[in-house]
């Protein structure tokens, strides 16, 4: 007895082409939304990592491992580098007890960003958990300045100081900044468009973060709400 032949029918070329076209259209429509979501997640993760780096090095001061620490930022064309550095008690005491040392003669140089031997531990060169380096691709993310900046902390805020783009004024009128901004890099400019006097964006920005710190090492993170036109704590 002959077995009953099965009626098996496959896809023809036209049907395959139609399916591929439909998949392509759906993918093309979904890609911009996925790309936007990816950028939003990337900038938020970056802001949280920067906050964590700053809190981490300040925690070492409270624990007594370091007496003086620095968060160094270098904004270049293609990347942004955040580095934490630490100075131990013995090193700091030698500077303080030497009346002729530049530490005592020029307070503006205390948060040093030029010497490779100034800090006992440097996250850029030392493989230690206490100090860190965070490198951010600047293709999608940027900040409100370009070049070098640094802020330095100590216990009880006695030696709070800054350097580069984190200071304003000179001499006795020098002021250390307490904020830096991070945002998705706009297509028409290289920086986060922020009014330095008010701290508010000058153009509509959907993903603008503010990393803020005090002289005592308290670090907070805020996000700009374009709906309510105000900063919202994160």
**Sequence ranges of the domains in the chain:** 39-233
Lowest mean pLDDT among 6-10, 85-89, 110-114, 190-194: 6-10
Question: Taking a C-beta distance cutoff of 8 angstroms, is the pair 166, 151 a contact?
Answer: yes
Q: Is the pLDDT of residue 131 over 80?
A: yes
- pLDDT score at 169: 77
Most confidently modeled range among 9-18, 29-38, 97-106: 97-106
- pLDDT score at 152: 98
**Mean pLDDT, residues 21-38 taken together:** 58
Lowest mean pLDDT among 51-55, 72-76, 127-131: 127-131
- Round the average pLDDT of the chain to a whole number and report it: 86
**Mean pLDDT, residues 180-197 taken together:** 87
Percent of all residues in the chain with a pLDDT value above 70, rounded to a whole number = 83
pTM for this model (two decimals): 0.83
Look at 51 and 29; give whichever has higher pLDDT.
51
Over residues 57-113, the pLDDT tens digits come to 999 999 999 999 999 999 999 999 999 999 999 999 999 999 888 898 888 899 999
């Amino acid at each position: 007895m002959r077995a009953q032949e099965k009626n098996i029918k496959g896809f023809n070329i036209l049907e395959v082409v139609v399916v591929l076209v439909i998949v392509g259209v759906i993918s093309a429509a979904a890609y911009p939304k996925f790309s936007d979501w990816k950028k939003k997640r990337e900038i938020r993760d970056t802001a949280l990592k920067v906050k964590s780096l700053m809190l981490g090095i300040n925690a070492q001061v409270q624990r007594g491992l370091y007496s003086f620490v620095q968060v160094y930022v270098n904004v270049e064309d293609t990347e942004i580098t955040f580095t934490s550095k630490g100075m131990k008690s013995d090193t700091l005491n030698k500077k303080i007890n030497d009346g002729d040392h530049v530490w005592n003669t020029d307070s503006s140089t205390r948060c040093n960003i030029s010497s490779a031997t100034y800090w006992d531990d440097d996250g850029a060169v030392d493989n230690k958990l206490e100090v860190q380096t965070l490198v951010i691709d600047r293709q999608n993310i940027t900040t409100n300045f370009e070049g070098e900046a640094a802020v330095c902390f100590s216990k009880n805020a006695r030696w709070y100081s800054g350097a580069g783009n984190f200071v304003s004024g000179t001499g006795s009128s020098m002021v250390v900044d307490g904020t830096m901004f991070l945002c998705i890099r706009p297509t028409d400019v290289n920086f986060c468009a922020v009014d330095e006097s008010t701290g508010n964006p000058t153009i509509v920005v959907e993903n603008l973060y503010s990393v803020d710190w005090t002289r005592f090492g308290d670090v907070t993170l805020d996000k700009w709400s374009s709906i309510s036109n105000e900063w919202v704590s994160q």
